[in-house]
Amino acid sequence: MTTSAGRTASRGRIDKRQAILDAAFIVFARRGYAQACVQEIAEEAGVAKPTVYNHLNDKETLFRHALTAVTDAVLAENLSVVERLRNPGPDLRATLEDVAYRLIRMCCTKRSRSLRWLTYAQVARFPDLIDLVLSRTSDQLCEALADRLARLSLSGHLRACDPATAAEQLLALITGPMEGRSRLGTRTASTAEMHAVATVAVDTFLRAYGAPENR
């Protein structure tokens, strides 16, 4: 932790910290926490092993920093997708299908899958990471979606309902089937399959929550 963010005393060469964190996530995602050895991370970052320990104290902080960084990135992407519901076009169903499809694509990203997998896999060793990752992804995403659904309900596009549970269920209808179809990320789903899941999820959602004219 020589110079963290302030950046007055510049590094001897370029800033290798980011390269190390990126490499750490890649290697952790490839091997898992226990199997990932620091040597491999150093090689992936194009750096010597002691340099890794210069920037991050030990393997655990390396893991935490790498994971939180990716978590923030994934959250930002997800939120930007949900934000599309702020201006629903005349065809609500089409807009929802578009959002659902984009969310599915996000969840199938290598980065997103690795993030879910790593947090789930290390729940025994780092139980607090579950809370951090889950609150910054699922919870905030659900919250944002609930906001949009509430407005849609007020404007008469959806029937009166509890927006929080509606959001929770819509997300479940989207991510649940995809998790099974993709074998927890082992199999890569086709575009057609993702479209199909999105369509059918929105269909049941609108049957349950749509205003009579959208049902």
Partner DNA sequence: GGTGATTTGTACTTGCTGGTTCAATTTAGT
Partner DNA sequence: ACTAAATTGAACCAGCAAGTACAAATCACC
Chain contacts with DNA (rule: CB under 7 A): 2-3, 9-14, 16, 35-39, 46-51, 53-55, 58-60
Binding test (CB under 8 A) with a second copy, winner from 37, 48, 76, 121: 121
CB of 139 to a second copy, least distance (A): 8
Q: Is 32 in the site for a second copy (CB under 8 A)?
A: yes
Amino acid of residue 45? A
Q: Residues 147-166 vs a second copy: string with x where CB under 8 A? A: ------------------x-
40-55 burial string, b = 16+ CB within 10 Å, else e?
bbbebbebeeebbebb
Q: What is the DSSP string of 50-114?
A: HHHHHHSSSHHHHHHHHHHHHHHHHHHHHHHHHGGGGS--S-HHHHHHHHHHHHHHHHTSHHHHH
Q: Which does 137 bind (CB under 5 to 8 A by kind): a second copy, DNA, none?
A: none
Q: Which is nearer to DNA, 62 or 198 (CB)?
A: 62
d(CA 8, CA 13): 14
Task: Please give the structure tokens belonging to residue 211.
Answer: 């205003």
Q: Which does 6 bind (CB under 5 to 8 A by kind): DNA, a second copy, none?
A: none
Amino acid of residue 214? N
d(CA 197, CA 93): 14
Binding test (CB under 8 A) with a second copy, winner from 183, 188, 190, 191: 183
Q: Which is nearer to DNA, 32 or 176 (CB)?
A: 32
CB of 62 to DNA, least distance (A): 7
CB of 37 to DNA, least distance (A): 3
d(CA 87, CA 29): 37
Q: Which does 2 bind (CB under 5 to 8 A by kind): a second copy, DNA, none?
A: DNA
Nearest alpha-carbon partner for 69 in 102, 108, 23, 103: 23
- Interacting residues with a second copy (CB under 8 A): 30-32, 34-35, 117, 119-125, 127, 130-131, 134, 138-139, 142, 165, 168-169, 171-173, 175-177, 180, 183-186, 200-201, 203-205, 207-209
